[in-house]
Structure formats: C-alpha cells, structure tokens
C-alpha cells in the first residue's frame, strides 16, 4: 500500500528464481518469469493466487511483456538466446 508504505497480504509463492513481472492490460493476471526453472507463473489478481502449474519456456527467462493487441505474452530467455510466445 503506497499510502501506508506497507505490504498487503502474504507473499505469493511462484517458481524458483523469480525475476521479471508483467501485468495484463486489464490487470486480471500477473506473469512472473522463474529464471532458475525456465518457466512463467501466472497469478490471478482477484485471488492473489498462482493459477495452475508454471508454464515451461526457454532457459533463464528474464524479461516478460504482455501484448495488449495480440493476446500473447513474450518472454526473453537469457540462457537459451530465444523468445518464447505464450498465447493468453
């Protein structure tokens, strides 16, 4: 909470080595890259809970962005020199 300078709720568990975070255009989902396990976790913002299992992508995912026009998530995989595309 920026007004009180305090966190709200408990930390949300995701995969190992979370690095990048992107929010969907309608703010209903958050996508988190898990560097150490090569995956992306999806968080439902209404419940603040992880949805399903992490989505496998390339090795060492870092950057993540949600395309508001194409309904896709793009993930930059540092260790495999690639970009993964996740349809949403």
The answer to whether residue 54 is domain-embedded is yes
Q: What is the pLDDT of residue 58?
A: 98
Residue 32 structural domain:
22-87
Q: How far apart are alpha carbons 18 and 39 in whole angstroms?
A: 9
The answer to whether residue 5 is domain-embedded is no
Q: What is the pLDDT of residue 70?
A: 87
Q: How many domains does the chain have?
A: 1
Instruction: For residue 36, list its beta bridge partners.
Output: none
Q: How far apart are alpha carbons 39 and 59 in whole angstroms?
A: 8
The answer to whether residue 73 is domain-embedded is yes
Residues 6+ apart with CB under 8 A from 6: none
Q: Tens place of pLDDT for every residue, the chain, 88 residues?
A: 788 888 888 999 999 999 999 999 999 999 999 999 999 999 999 999 999 999 999 999 999 999 988 899 999 999 999 999 999 9
The answer to whether residue 1 is domain-embedded is no
The answer to whether residue 46 is domain-embedded is yes
Q: How far apart are alpha carbons 73 and 22 in whole angstroms?
A: 9
The answer to whether residue 8 is domain-embedded is no
The answer to whether residue 59 is domain-embedded is yes
Which of 67, 53, 69, 63 lies closest to 32 in space, CA to CA? 63
The answer to whether residue 14 is domain-embedded is no
């Amino acid at each position: 909470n920026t007004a009180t300078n305090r966190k709200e709720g408990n930390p949300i568990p995701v995969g190992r080595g979370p690095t990048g975070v992107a929010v969907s255009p309608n703010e209903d989902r958050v996508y988190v890259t898990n560097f150490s396990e090569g995956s992306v976790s999806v968080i439902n913002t209404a419940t603040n809970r992880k949805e399903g299992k992490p989505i496998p992508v390339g090795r060492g995912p870092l950057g993540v962005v949600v395309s508001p026009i194409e309904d896709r998530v793009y993930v930059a995989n540092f260790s495999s020199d690639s970009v993964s595309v996740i349809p949403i």
